[in-house]
Amino acid sequence: MSDAGGNRTRSGTSSSVLISYVSTRCSMPQLSLLDAGESVLVDDETGRIAYTPGFVDEATAAAWFAELRKDAEWKAERRVMYDREVDVPRLTGHYHLPSFDPTAATPPVAILDAAVLVTARTGVPFTSVGLNLYRDGRDSVAPHNDHLYEIVEGHPIALLSLGGTRRMTIRSKEPPRRVLHIDLEAGSLLMMSYATQLHYTHGVPKTKQPVGERISLAFRVKPESSRGSQGFYST
């Protein structure tokens, strides 16, 4: 079926992914992918990006959100931008998993349970998780790519979303221009391969639309040299 704008849609789920391909010569129509299972959005020489709605059931996602909102060690950070210090527009947190650093602070049970599930279903031996808390539409994360020295080469990033739905925008760095707008729902999992950090940026823009609080858990495989350190971007 098609929506009012002529985009292709499928009924039966609320998951939404909009993909546009833009070149200097022409613009191609946006494609809306609605799928209850994994949607492979990119799988080529630039890397692999896949989105799975309902990776975690609704009740579990809600329980994990409530626990992390209450028990995670949230920090309000500041950083230098354009020669002045500004507030980071979200709260952040970071934990090393016990299997990677037994001396680090023990993560909340929700993180441990999520790590077991994500590791088991993806087969990736994740060692750390970065947290972001988006309190309302004014909170955001600027377009960026992860620092590759903070990830073991060849390992992907897994992004688990809890709470309110927020839109992520992923853009290719070089022509042909490729733009993906992904509504990250509670309980969804977004996988981005190592190579995508070379070819794309990703971010969560501000919005004036009413949105609920959102917590993201970004699982990564950190190098041994990163023990005791914390990354900045978590998405």
* pLDDT given at position 5: 38
Mean pLDDT for the chain overall: 85
pLDDT digits (tens, 9 = 90+) for 53-74: 999 999 999 999 999 999 999 9
Average pLDDT value for residue range 26-48 = 67
* pLDDT given at position 228: 61
Cα–Cα nearest to 231, from 169, 141, 161, 164: 141
**Mind listing the domains of the chain with CATH numbers?**
34-226 (2.60.120.590)
Higher-scoring residue by pLDDT: 130, 26: 130
pTM over 0.75, yes/no: yes
Residue 232, SS3 per DSSP: coil
Average pLDDT value for residue range 26-50 = 69
Average pLDDT value for residue range 216-229 = 86
**Is the predicted pLDDT of residue 30 greater than 70, yes or no?**
no
Residue 8: band (very low, low, confident or very high) from pLDDT cuts 50, 70, 90: very low
**Is the predicted pLDDT of residue 96 greater than 80, yes or no?**
yes
Mutual orientation of helices 58-71 and 109-122 as an angle, nearest 10°?
A: 140
Average pLDDT value for residue range 80-106 = 88
CA torsion sign for 123, 154, 132, 128 is positive
